[in-house]
């Protein structure tokens, strides 16, 4: 059976910080940009799946910060394009500022990763299972 929400739609919605289930923009509490809602404000999809759910997003945020900010600064320093003091200041500022700016996307991208692997877990894609059928297949 073809899912109602495809992996391509899940990726597009996740990259745009939208709900993977309905595509709505209600992932975060209005007026509180760093507070993820426990459930989507439009369709009720559970966003806070468990207490440690933020750890995956935090790891993703760390990895993107290293790859997009710290590694280029290190390479620029090693190739002699910038000095040591400049590299140290840029790395320090980048390592603090970028994760804050990327926080919302990291939460959304982590949620996207989960549903890219298990798209059948989206409420929009669920159907009645046969007696001998497993929901994880
Ligand atoms: Zn939703």
d(CA 27, ligand 1 centre) in Å: 8
Distance 97 CA to ligand 1 centre (A): 29
DSSP 106: H
- Cβ neighbors of 56 (< 8 A, separation 6 or more) are 110, 113
Looking at every residue in the chain, the average pLDDT score rounds to 91
CA-nearest of 41, 50, 56, 39 to 116 is 56
| Burial of 27 from C-beta contacts in 10 A (0-12 / 13-18 / 19+) | buried
Give the pLDDT score at 87.
Answer: 98
Q: How far apart are CA 3 and CA 62, in angstroms?
A: 32
Q: What is the mean pLDDT of residues 66-79?
A: 98
pLDDT at 80: 97
pLDDT tens-place string over residues 116-129: 999 999 999 887 76
pLDDT, one tens digit per residue, over 38-53 is 999 899 999 987 777 7
Query: Greater confidence, 130 or 11?
Result: 11
Confidence check: pLDDT of 94 > 70: yes
What pLDDT is attached to residue 52?
78
Residue labelled with tokens 């090693």? 78
- Residues in the 5 Å CB sphere of ion ligand 1: 19, 21-22, 24, 40, 42-43, 45
Q: How far is the CA of 54 from the centre of ligand 1 (A)?
A: 19
Measured in Å, residue 131 CA sits from the centre of ligand 1 at 29
Check whether 134 has a pLDDT greater than 80: no
Share of the chain above pLDDT 70, in %: 96
């Amino acid at each position: 059976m073809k899912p109602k929400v495809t992996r391509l739609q899940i990726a597009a919605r996740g990259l745009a910080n939208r709900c993977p289930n309905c595509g709505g923009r209600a992932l975060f509490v209005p007026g509180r940009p760093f507070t993820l809602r426990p459930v989507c404000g439009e369709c009720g999809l559970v966003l806070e799946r468990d207490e440690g759910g933020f750890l995956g997003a935090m790891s993703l945020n760390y990895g993107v910060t290293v790859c997009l900010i710290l590694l280029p600064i290190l390479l620029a320093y090693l190739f002699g394009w910038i000095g040591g003091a400049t590299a140290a200041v840029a790395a320090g500022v980048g390592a603090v500022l970028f994760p804050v700016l990327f926080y919302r996307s990291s939460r959304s991208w982590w949620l996207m990763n989960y549903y890219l692997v298990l798209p059948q877990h989206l409420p929009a894609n669920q159907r009645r299972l046969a007696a001998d059928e497993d929901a994880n297949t």
